[in-house]
Structure formats: structure tokens, C-alpha cells
Copies of this chain bind each other. A is one copy, B any other.
Amino acid sequence: MNAVDILKNKRLKKTAQRIMLINLLQKTGISLTESEIKSELGDLYDRITFYRTVQKLLDANIIHRITVDNITVKYALNHSDHGHSENHSHFFCKQCHSVTCLENVAITEYRVPKGFKSEECEVLIKGICDSCMNS
């Protein structure tokens, strides 16, 4: 689904920045940091609008945010409307610091201590990614 349709589905205004951001995340396929997005968007980038755009798209469940060790904050498109947000699984490469969404890694159902209620689960696997392994 293209950016305009995604926004239309969620009844969000189709503004230049939103469309650009969604297109960019679709095109690259991986998760990006603010500065990576900034350099891609060029003139269209405005820091304040960026934060508000991100907030809107997070609220609308169009993208999600991944934070690794408080070092890197990355944004990535959600792949399906439901499902993606409930159970994430990400791979963080310690070498190139890339973050890959692992769509095919099923998340275990964890048993939490008595009295707790589990609703979602995020898994972050750290290691070396395939392109760093082959070089």
C-alpha cells in the first residue's frame, strides 16, 4: 500500500512530510534514525514538524520506534495494521548498528509472575548482521 492510501485509511491529512517519510521508510525497508531521515528529506525536513509527524504516525500505528541501549532511536514502518505493534522482534547489529525487523521470528509467550498482566512483548536480539558477517 502506498503512502497516500495509508494516510487515507487512517483519515490523516496527506501532507508532504508525512508522504515523504512513509515513502522513505518503504523504499529503504530498514529502520532509520532521525538524522538519516533528515539527510534524505533535505529541505523538506523541519525538526519540529518531524517530531509531530512521527508522533502522529506512531499514534496511528503506521510506524514504530525502536530504541537500543539509549544509543540509537530508529523508526520503521509497521507491516500490518494489527499484529506488528503487539509483538516486535528486532535485530541490532553491534557492528554497523543497523536495526532489522525480524518478521519471521515468532515471539515466545512468556509467563509473568503472579499478579502481573502481560499484554505485549518486545524482543531485541543483538549480534552481527548478515552483511557484516560477509565482510
Contacts and interface: CB of A to CB of B under 8 A. Distances in A.
Interface of A: 65, 67-70, 73, 89, 91, 94, 102, 104-105, 108, 110-130, 133-134
A125 B120 contact: yes
Nearest to A104: B113
Contacts of A116: 91, 127-130, 133
Given A113-B130, A125-B110, A127-B112, A119 B94 contact: yes
A118 B110 contact: no
A126 B68 CA distance: 17
Contact of A102 (B68, B112, B115, B123): B112
Contacts of A115: 129-130, 133-134
